[in-house]
Chains A and B, each alone.
Chain A
């Protein structure tokens, strides 16, 4: 072990120090994360009233606020890339959002809320976790607090998955939502062969390739689904030391930059994400 890092591992303090073929995919990644956090928070907020228990609603409300806080933190990073974070947050049309496609529609009841918190929230968390030791310092400095908060989101999701799975008349509904979310969450983690992602890994901006993230993600959510007897129902099986998803990931139309395969957020949801109703009250 040496006391000094080799030159190739020096930290990047500013985005303009990044090679061009790294800066562009990193901006893409940060924007996809910010937009997904913003829309996930909106979807959570739709479920915080009418939750099964008062405590669950309070926690869902807090989680929605967490997600919006994470989104704001992530949008703010893009100022270093020459973007205007305020414009990104408040002035884009629905078609410009790069949020994960499975959240284009609202969450179906409490089953949808829990499936999203277990499978979508944890996919986003897995991507952030791959940035915790990034050579791009502004990103690295912001990720740990976010990950600390996400520990509670995981406990919430796991606890409610256990709770619903134990109720025979609700179990099938949860399994259906989990089956719907899982392949889209797995796909959102991206392709190993994406040139931009490969450069991000080579430069030490992102820890490892998407297949490794998928493996860690499956280990985390697979343990919860196995414990509740739902793993087989959603197409997950243990495979040696890891997990295997037996379904197909549909890459048709997939765009590595936007992490979407067509479609769009609707304008009404985008208007809420932008804060159109309170636009006149926006503060500098």
Chain B
């Protein structure tokens, strides 16, 4: 069973915009929340969100780090980010599965 990717966004204060800080693989949103909170805990975030990558619609897929090429078997949900700065995944390019 392959796990979907959840993108992680956070900010340190209400005045700051949310920014993308990384991603986690998780079977559901609850585990994604836990993994995000426990993985990206080096900063004192005031807010953190996780978003299923499959829910992100890139305006320009050719330029997006969230691009997920559609496939018949729906494995688009497990495609990794490019250069998202996540732990160990910052340089993972394109459609490498885990």
Chain B associates with chain A: yes
Q: Report A's interface with B, CB cutoff 8 A.
A: 53-56, 58-59, 62-63, 152, 155-156, 158-160, 162-163, 167
- Minimum distance in angstroms from A15 CB to a CB of chain B: 33
Partner of B38, one of A53, A59, A159, A163: A59
- Minimum distance in angstroms from A234 CB to a CB of chain B: 21
The answer for the CA separation of A54 and B31 in the assembled complex, in Å, is: 13
Residues of chain B lying within 8 A (CB to CB) of residue A155: 30-31, 33-34
Which A-chain residue is minimally distant from B89 (CB atoms)? A54
Which B-chain residue is minimally distant from A53 (CB atoms)? B25
Total contacts A to B, CB within 8 angstroms? Answer: 47
- Minimum distance in angstroms from B54 CB to a CB of chain A: 18
Which B-chain residue is minimally distant from A163 (CB atoms)? B27
Known: A55-B26, A159-B28. A62 touches B41 (CB 8 A): yes
Partner of B39, one of A55, A156, A159, A167: A55
Which B-chain residue is minimally distant from A55 (CB atoms)? B35
| Residues of B23-50 whose CB lies within 8 A of A | 24-28, 30-31, 33-35, 37-39, 41
Q: Is the CB of B3 within 8 A of A152?
A: no
The answer for the CA separation of A167 and B1 in the assembled complex, in Å, is: 10
The answer for the CA separation of A204 and B37 in the assembled complex, in Å, is: 34
- Minimum distance in angstroms from B22 CB to a CB of chain A: 11
The answer for the CA separation of A265 and B27 in the assembled complex, in Å, is: 36
Residues of chain B lying within 8 A (CB to CB) of residue A158: 30
The answer for the CA separation of A174 and B88 in the assembled complex, in Å, is: 31
Residues of chain A lying within 8 A (CB to CB) of residue B25: 53-55
The answer for the CA separation of A155 and B31 in the assembled complex, in Å, is: 7
Q: Is the CB of A53 within 8 A of B34?
A: no
Partner of B31, one of A62, A63, A156, A167: A156
Contact digits for B1-25, partner A, Cβ 8 Å, 1 yes 0 no: 1010000000000000000000011
Q: Is the CB of B3 within 8 A of A159?
A: no
The answer for the CA separation of A162 and B88 in the assembled complex, in Å, is: 27
Q: Is the CB of B28 within 8 A of A152?
A: no
The answer for the CA separation of A58 and B38 in the assembled complex, in Å, is: 7
27 pairs from A and B in contact (CB 8 Å cutoff): A53-B3, A55-B24, A55-B25, A55-B31, A55-B35, A55-B39, A56-B31, A56-B35, A58-B38, A58-B39, A58-B87, A59-B35, A59-B39, A62-B41, A63-B38, A152-B34, A152-B37, A152-B38, A156-B31, A156-B34, A159-B26, A159-B27, A159-B34, A162-B27, A162-B28, A163-B27, A163-B28
